[in-house]
Structure 1
Amino acid sequence: MPGFTCGLDATLRVIAGKWKPLILYFVAQDGPTRYGELRRAVRDVSDKMLIQQLKELEADGLVKRTDHKEVPPRVDYSLTPLGHSLAQALVPLCAWGEEHVAEVSRVFAERDVSNSRGR
């Protein structure tokens, strides 16, 4: 594995960033997805960041951009076979998050309180 310390390193480099796993998740759930749908689904992401992350996912062979050459413009995004395999690998992480959301929320809230006291 040239350039990677292990398989997890390779995976983390591909999905590096706050938004890529969420983009993969929503495109996997909804099939071909238009930009506006993604923008609404991936809350709090800026247009600039969403466009950048989509371009990187496309360059990495995980997402396919389809321009339907229509007026008004219609573009959608879908997963490539490589993207589908990565999205399936994220399923256990989603399940873990759903199973532990209350505990994680509590820990983050406590951390926020602790951090605000330390200021």
Structure 2
Amino acid sequence: MTNNFHMGTNYLLKVITGKWKVSIICALGLKDYRYLELLKYENDVNHTKISKKVLTEQLNQLEEDGIVTKKSYGTIPPKVVYSLTPIGQELSKHLINLNFLGENLAQVNQANISFDINAQQVKNLHKEEQDKN
């Protein structure tokens, strides 16, 4: 059976829908992370804490959808590193721009909204990481 979507954007929104998925994609756009490093990073930049269960679920969903890849090293203790696939890297760049658009829309709508991390901070983090490489 074929799933029908009105537009490609509708499919994309299905893939990235989830409280933490956008944040996970943006974090992995900075660098590859081991699981606990990613959990710590997410909990440091967000006011609400992400649980291990939810992080695991959302990483697995992103992996199934071809956005994230997981590499196991077969060592003891186990070492697993999460990174973005090429399409995930492209998506991360677009999500950074959408952060700005979302903040502008909130301002236009005069919405009483606060953000854990603003778009400029995200962009600066990505620039700093690129400058390191």
The interval holding the TM-score normalised by the smaller chain is: 0.7 to 0.9
Aligned to 1:63: 68
Moved more, 50-59 or 78-87: 78-87
Deviation at 1:100, TM superposition (A): 8.0
How far does the alpha carbon of each residue in 1:65-98 deviate from its partner, in whole angstroms, 9 at most, with x for none?
Answer: 0011111111110111111121121121233457
CA distance in 1, matches of 2:7, 2:105: 27
Aligned: 1:79 with 2:78: no
CA distance in 2, matches of 1:101, 1:3: 31
The code of the aligned residue for 1:37 comes to E
Moved more, 42-51 or 90-99: 90-99
Runs of at least 5 residues in structure 2 that lack an aligned partner in the other structure: 44-48, 115-133
TM-score using structure 2 length = 0.70
TM-score using structure 1 length = 0.77
What SS class does the counterpart of residue 112 from structure 2 fall into?
helix
Runs of at least 5 residues in structure 1 that lack an aligned partner in the other structure: 110-119
Summarize the alignment of residues 1-119 of structure 1 with structure 2, pairs less than 5 Å apart. 3-30=4-31, 32-43=32-43, 44-96=49-101, 107-108=112-113
The code of the aligned residue for 2:20 comes to W
What SS class does the counterpart of residue 5 from structure 1 fall into?
coil
Flag as ranges the 4+ runs of structure 1 deviating above 3 A.
95-104
Count, aligned residues: 108
CA distance in 2, matches of 1:95, 1:59: 28
- How large is the Cα RMSD of the aligned pairs? 2.6
Of structures 1 and 2, the one scoring higher in RCO (CA 8 A, sep 6+) is 2
